[in-house]
Amino acid sequence: MQSEKKIAVSFSCGYLIIFILINLFFMNVCFSQQFCPSEHLAQIRMGVRGANNHDNIWGYTDIFFPIYNNKDSVLYGASDFLIFLNPKITMTDFSTDEENLGVGFRYLASDLLFEQGIIVGSNVYYDAAYSENGGRHTQLGLGIEFLSQVLDLRGNYYFPISDKKIIDDYYNFGQRSLMQYFREEEALRGYDAEIGIPVPLLSSIIETWVYGGGYWYNSKISENIEGLKARIQINPAPLITFSVEVKDDNVFGNETFIGGFVSLPFDLGNLLQRKNPFEGWQQTAKFQKGKRSLAQRMTEPVIRDINIITTAKTRSEKVHDMIFVDNSNDADSLEDGSLDHPHNTLSEAFSNSIYEKDVWIYVNNGDGGSTGYTGNFTLADRVVVWGQGYRYLNLGGGNHPEIDGGGVGNVFTLGNDNTVMGLKIQNGDAGIYGKNITNTEIRNNVITNNGGDGIHLETDSTYNLSAQISGNTINSNIANGVVLWSEDSSLISTVFTQNTINDNSGTGIYHWSGDLSTINTTFSKNTISSNAGAGIYLQSNSSSVLTSSLSRNKIYSNTLDGVYLGDLGSSILTLDMGNGALSCGGYNSVYSNGDKEVDNDTALTVKAENNWWGPALNSSQFNGDIDYDPYLDSDPN
């Protein structure tokens, strides 16, 4: 059914092409007998072609438009000179299509090589196609042809215009590395040629030609294609043609194609006179004994490859060196940190000879416990620790490996440019600690049951820290969920998104900006609830700068304030919860917190429009100058 639909679309597109070309061109020029000649009628060909070794079916519409005819040429005794347009659309049942637009000429020369004359022709085509892999390719095609009653010769050259395409890319683990694979596809430069003769005796009854030839295509990324082909073409009547083609080459092997087409004559002159343009088509359905005349062959199809020939190949690049860890790999005497022989302790990974800057450590969930994953781990610069709990680059996924601090010290101490993801980080003084570092990414971890803060980041001495904290669950820590602390003209820039921060014994997120330092934070799509302190606590001191925006967060059921803003000394503060200076849209849900939804302990105005404050809004939910109107009537989150 899918094949039939696509073939039908192909036929419909063919008729659309006819309509457009007639209205844009022929209506203006078809008033001379040399243009749109009645001696050579346009041909509308609709055909199908199938392959025997797979289920592919091609449906196509091929329009042959004679646009100029001159019988007065004396070039080499030429008796009939024809210029034509040839648009074509091909569609298949495997989600590909191809469009061709060609222009060419043919002239029938008498007294040239053969007693009955010869047709000499040439053509130029522009081809565009989507391949089976989804790549879009374009090419130019140049063709020549010599047609006679006893011998045919054809040749085509194909020159790609489009560059090679990356049709797929993906990642996978190598033995000691993370690899990226690219599947590339290119249109091939090449040519084909064939020679044909009418089958003796048989062609005197029903016109039958047999052709043989070859094709050669050059590839820059894969193997060149070299093959032979043969085909039989049967023309029992002008209306219908059948063909069988066999190809055999070093890449695609042996393929057999069976197809045919109907060819309806189309009289443009009749159309202009509002007559039936298909008048007399019934005559073309009558059996024609013997071969067609050369004059009849002036409008036969141009024979060239129905597809842009493409080839694809996969290449790979190393992204990072990798060390693999799996605490269930106890009986492996060959363990060396490779994919097949992973270390069974995290300490061994940090002691591996290739452990240095820019290495990635992949931690399998293993036996599901923390055996072998217990300790305090300090990361070198540009090291990534990736737990199986986070599916990243389509790799990993499953339970979070348990990394245990052993009750003493920080579980992870960060260096510069670190990423920690996909782990369950527990039972340390802090789950993740970093001081005077840069470019930290903490994503999709479970950070829980630590004796201090879940995450603690601080700067002083003019250091600049940027952090992306996303997708984490940070709960049940004895102190705060997250602490950002800046001093001494330092800078912290942090983005919090899609975290769940709940049930911590202190504040959900605590910010301290002191001694001329700066903290810039963006909060979006976080859920911050049921913490023993405030949901978000923002405090500045000593002429510091604190800038925060909140959008689409859910902050509720915290013991103290939902959001607190305080200033202990001449600071520059900006808190935008909706329609403020930071262009924040709002749409936060802040409700049911134990003290105030927003507590503004400064002389500044906090913009907090377009938020939901619970089912029963009243001014007692706020302290200080809070611009909360207009507000939302229902929970946007």
Element housing 125 (H / E):
strand 118-130
- Distance, CA of 530 to CA of 532 (rounded, Å): 6
Name the amino acid, one letter, at 485.
Answer: W
pTM: 0.76
Q: Pick the residue with more confidence: 283 or 78? A: 283
Beta strands in 471-508 (DSSP E): 473-475, 482-486, 491-497, 500-502
Question: Are 557 and 531 within 8 A, CB to CB?
Answer: no
Instruction: With a cut of 70, say whether residue 266 has pLDDT above it.
Output: yes
pLDDT confidence of residue 573: 84
Residue 106's contacts (CB-CB under 8 Å, 6 or more residues apart) are 81, 82, 84, 119, 120, 121, 145, 298
pLDDT confidence of residue 32: 46
pLDDT confidence of residue 275: 76
* Residues 525, 528, 534, 536, Cα dihedral to 10°: -20
Across 181-190, 409-418, 539-548, least confident range:
539-548
Helices and strands in the chain: count of H runs, count of E runs: 6, 44
Name the amino acid, one letter, at 225.
Answer: I
pLDDT band for position 11 (50/70/90)?
very low
Instruction: With a cut of 90, say whether residue 377 has pLDDT above it.
Output: yes
Q: Tokens in use for 390?
A: 């986070």
pLDDT band for position 38 (50/70/90)?
low
pLDDT band for position 263 (50/70/90)?
very high
* Residues 367, 371, 376, 381, Cα dihedral to 10°: -30
pLDDT confidence of residue 13: 47
The whole-angstrom distance between residue 283's C-alpha and the CA centroid of its chain comes to 52
Question: Are 456 and 481 within 8 A, CB to CB?
Answer: no
Residue 554's contacts (CB-CB under 8 Å, 6 or more residues apart) are 526, 527, 528, 529, 588, 589, 637
Nearest to 607 by CA among 551, 533, 536: 551
Question: Are 590 and 611 within 8 A, CB to CB?
Answer: yes
pLDDT confidence of residue 113: 63
Beta strands in 131-252 (DSSP E): 136-147, 152-160, 165-173, 177-187, 189-198, 207-218, 225-237, 240-249
Across 31-35, 54-58, 247-251, 300-304, least confident range:
31-35
Question: Are 243 and 230 within 8 A, CB to CB?
Answer: no
Residue 98's contacts (CB-CB under 8 Å, 6 or more residues apart) are 89, 90, 91, 127, 128, 129, 130, 306, 307, 308
Across 34-43, 130-139, 155-164, least confident range:
34-43
Q: Tokens in use for 387?
A: 């737990």
Q: Are strands 446-448 and 473-475 parallel, antiparallel or unpaired?
A: parallel
pLDDT tens digits for range 463-507 = 888 999 999 999 999 999 999 998 888 888 999 999 999 999 999
Across 44-58, 225-239, 503-517, least confident range:
44-58
- Distance, CA of 528 to CA of 588 (rounded, Å): 11
Residue 434's contacts (CB-CB under 8 Å, 6 or more residues apart) are 413, 414, 418, 440, 456, 457, 458, 465
Q: Tokens in use for 323?
A: 């060390």
- Distance, CA of 175 to CA of 159 (rounded, Å): 41
Number of C-beta neighbours around residue 276 at 10 A: 11
Measured between its terminal Cα atoms, the distance across the chain in Å is 44
pLDDT confidence of residue 97: 82
pLDDT tens digits for range 559-589 = 999 999 998 877 788 899 999 999 999 999 9
| Domain covering 2-313 in this structure, CATH number | 2.40.160.160
- Distance, CA of 136 to CA of 10 (rounded, Å): 18
Number of C-beta neighbours around residue 280 at 10 A: 11
pLDDT tens digits for range 209-248 = 999 999 999 999 999 999 999 999 999 998 899 999 999 9
pLDDT confidence of residue 112: 60
Q: Tokens in use for 549?
A: 């925006």
pLDDT tens digits for range 402-411 = 999 999 999 9
- Distance, CA of 40 to CA of 265 (rounded, Å): 9
Instruction: With a cut of 60, say whether residue 337 has pLDDT above it.
Output: yes
Instruction: With a cut of 90, say whether residue 51 has pLDDT above it.
Output: no
Instruction: With a cut of 70, say whether residue 547 has pLDDT above it.
Output: yes
DSSP 114: B
Instruction: With a cut of 70, say whether residue 114 has pLDDT above it.
Output: no
* Arithmetic mean of pLDDT over the chain: 89
pLDDT confidence of residue 154: 97
- Distance, CA of 423 to CA of 386 (rounded, Å): 7
pLDDT tens digits for range 60-99 = 999 999 988 887 644 444 578 999 999 999 887 666 789 9
The dihedrals phi and psi of 336, each to the nearest 5 degrees, come to -140, 10
Instruction: With a cut of 60, say whether residue 132 has pLDDT above it.
Output: yes
Domains in the chain: boundaries: 2-313, 452-627
Q: Pick the residue with more confidence: 447 or 112? A: 447
Q: What is the mean pLDDT of residues 178-193?
A: 96
The dihedrals phi and psi of 395, each to the nearest 5 degrees, come to -125, 155
Number of C-beta neighbours around residue 163 at 10 A: 9
pLDDT band for position 37 (50/70/90)?
low
The whole-angstrom distance between residue 483's C-alpha and the CA centroid of its chain comes to 39
pLDDT confidence of residue 4: 37
Q: Pick the residue with more confidence: 544 or 60? A: 60
The dihedrals phi and psi of 143, each to the nearest 5 degrees, come to -130, 150
CA angle 105, 17, 4 (to 5 degrees): 115
Q: What is the mean pLDDT of residues 611-621?
A: 93
Instruction: With a cut of 50, say whether residue 3 has pLDDT above it.
Output: no
pLDDT confidence of residue 595: 97
Across 11-25, 203-217, 601-615, least confident range:
11-25
- Distance, CA of 456 to CA of 458 (rounded, Å): 7
Strand partners, 607: 576, 627
Residue 108's contacts (CB-CB under 8 Å, 6 or more residues apart) are 78, 79, 80, 81, 117, 118, 119, 294, 295, 298
Q: Cis omega before residue 301 (within 30°)?
A: no
> What DSSP string runs through 512-530?
EE-TT-EEEEEEES-EEES
Instruction: With a cut of 90, say whether residue 256 has pLDDT above it.
Output: yes
pLDDT confidence of residue 268: 72
Q: Are strands 97-109 and 118-130 parallel, antiparallel or unpaired?
A: antiparallel
Q: Tokens in use for 8?
A: 């039908």
pLDDT confidence of residue 621: 95
Share of the chain above pLDDT 90, in %: 70
pLDDT confidence of residue 55: 59
Instruction: With a cut of 70, say whether residue 545 has pLDDT above it.
Output: yes
Question: Are 207 and 234 within 8 A, CB to CB?
Answer: yes
Nearest to 427 by CA among 401, 394, 405, 455: 405
pLDDT confidence of residue 131: 85
Instruction: With a cut of 90, say whether residue 457 has pLDDT above it.
Output: yes
Instruction: With a cut of 80, say whether residue 333 has pLDDT above it.
Output: yes
- Distance, CA of 539 to CA of 44 (rounded, Å): 79
Instruction: With a cut of 60, say whether residue 34 has pLDDT above it.
Output: no
Length of the chain: 637
Instruction: With a cut of 50, say whether residue 8 has pLDDT above it.
Output: no
